[in-house]
Amino acid sequence: MLGALSHTRVLRLAGLFTWIMVGLPLALLAAGDPSAMRWGLLLFAAYFIFGGAYFWLTRDLRSGRHASLFDRAMLLLLTVCALAVSFLSGSGLGSILMMVAAGVIPWMLPARFGVFWLLASQLAVAPVYYLFLPFPLFEAVMQSLLYGGFSMFIFVTSLVARQQTDAREEQRRLNTELRATRVLLAESARVNERTRISRELHDLLGHHLTALSLNLEVAGHITEGRAQEHVHQAHTLARLLLTDVREAVSHLRDSGAIDLAAALRPLAEQVPSLDIHLDMPSPLSVEDPERAHVLLRCTQEAITNAIRHSGARNLWIKVRRDEQGIVLEARDDGRGADALLVGNGLRGMRERLQQCGGELQITTGRGEGFGLRASVPAAPSLALSTAPEGVR
């Protein structure tokens, strides 16, 4: 049964189970010493606050998530409550709760600060062993370090779980990008093959049919009788064939556009912890493969920013065509920022758009999410090569 659960879900359930088990000796302690209920109320308040804080912090342990100030304040409350349980009960139960908290620290703090936080909180329980149990000072410190070793083991296990989650998310992202790029490559290959066939029809078959039509027209003027009638019929068939070739070439060129919608859909599928609402017509034709590639990369960057930096739950992406070209609008419900820090991703997006004559507009604000608008001008129409008038 546990095999069907994710690492984070197993971690959360194990922590809650340990928290419940710690409550059993506390209940027995309160039942055996009713005179201590004055402290018992504070003791159980600290115990239940610890459980609530742990339940809140483990609600959303996911890859790429940056802990907010509120979550870190909850981690501090978690630590204070664990210490309070030890001091109010005069036991080492708080050290066990510290072990539970050790599984959350790697998701809230960088590794080096997490180790410092872990050791400092375990050493803070040493006075309980020295004053209440009582242990000699050296043994009290060693007892705290012993629990610190257990907590470090849990900390490292949770850290490995986070690294595996990060690696799995990175693999999912790369697979999604590969699928989208493969679709775009297949569309580009289809367009190139249609263009090649249309050029061959235009340059080879079209020219020869034009020459045949001209010769038949000349032959119609120098023949008489039934022969002239057959020449006129052949001339009519040649002109009809020229018309069919012209229509075939036009159809191949008109249908030789990339379906951008087919390339973007894989990016929005199976993204954990982020609901992507994709709004675009299907099919959405883009004549230039380079412009389609730019829009694909812009969509990838918008999704990556929403997952790694914005802390968003929803991302709305709208792609539409207007008179000037194609417009991509993305907006999330993340925390936003007062000042925009342009990283390599946004800088690369802007450079890609500028290379094809497009532009990028970014809007954000604290508590207002993050939004961007990327516009790409329509590709210039491809003129056919110079040919006789009959096949243009």
The Cα–Cα gap between 135 and 142 comes to: 10
Tell how many helices (H) and how many strands (E) occur in the chain: 13, 7
Angle at 110 between CA 105 and CA 112, to 5 degrees: 95
Q: What amino acid occupies position 245? A: V
Structure token digits, residue 137 = 């000072």
Q: For residue 185, tell me if it sits in a domain.
A: no
Q: For residue 188, tell me if it sits in a domain.
A: no
Q: For residue 179, tell me if it sits in a domain.
A: no
Where among 112, 147, 170 does a domain terminate? Answer: 170
Q: For residue 282, tell me if it sits in a domain.
A: yes
Q: Are residues 267 and 135 in the same domain?
A: no
Q: Are residues 36 and 157 in the same domain?
A: yes
Where among 135, 170, 205 does a domain terminate? Answer: 170
* The model scores a pTM over 0.75: no
Q: Are residues 155 and 299 in the same domain?
A: no
Q: For residue 105, tell me if it sits in a domain.
A: yes
Q: For residue 190, tell me if it sits in a domain.
A: no
Q: What is the CATH number of the domain that holds 304?
A: 3.30.565.10
Q: For residue 15, tell me if it sits in a domain.
A: yes
Query: What is the per-residue DSSP string for 285-332?
Result: EES-HHHHHHHHHHHHHHHHHIIIII--SEEEEEEEE-SSEEEEEEEE
Q: Are residues 145 and 22 in the same domain?
A: yes
Q: Are residues 34 and 165 in the same domain?
A: yes
Q: Are residues 165 and 47 in the same domain?
A: yes
Domain holding 148, by residue range, is: 2-170
Q: Are residues 150 and 284 in the same domain?
A: no
Residues in the chain: 392
- Burial code (b: 16+ CB inside 10 Å, e: under 16) for 258-277 equals bbbbbbbbbbbeebebbebe
Q: Are residues 265 and 165 in the same domain?
A: no
Per-residue pLDDT tens digits of the chain, which is 392 residues long: 445 566 778 888 889 999 999 988 888 877 766 555 456 788 889 999 999 999 988 887 765 555 678 888 899 999 999 998 888 888 888 889 999 999 899 888 888 898 888 888 888 888 888 777 778 888 888 888 888 889 899 999 888 888 887 777 777 777 777 777 777 677 677 666 666 666 666 666 666 667 767 777 777 777 777 777 766 777 677 677 667 666 666 655 555 566 777 777 877 776 767 788 888 887 777 777 778 878 888 888 888 788 777 777 888 888 888 777 888 888 888 877 777 777 777 788 888 888 888 888 888 877 778 888 888 887 654 333 333 344 44
Q: Name the DSSP letter for residue 384.
A: P
Q: Are residues 154 and 15 in the same domain?
A: yes
Where among 114, 149, 170 does a domain terminate? Answer: 170
Q: Are residues 270 and 136 in the same domain?
A: no
Q: For residue 103, tell me if it sits in a domain.
A: yes
Q: How many domains does the chain have?
A: 2
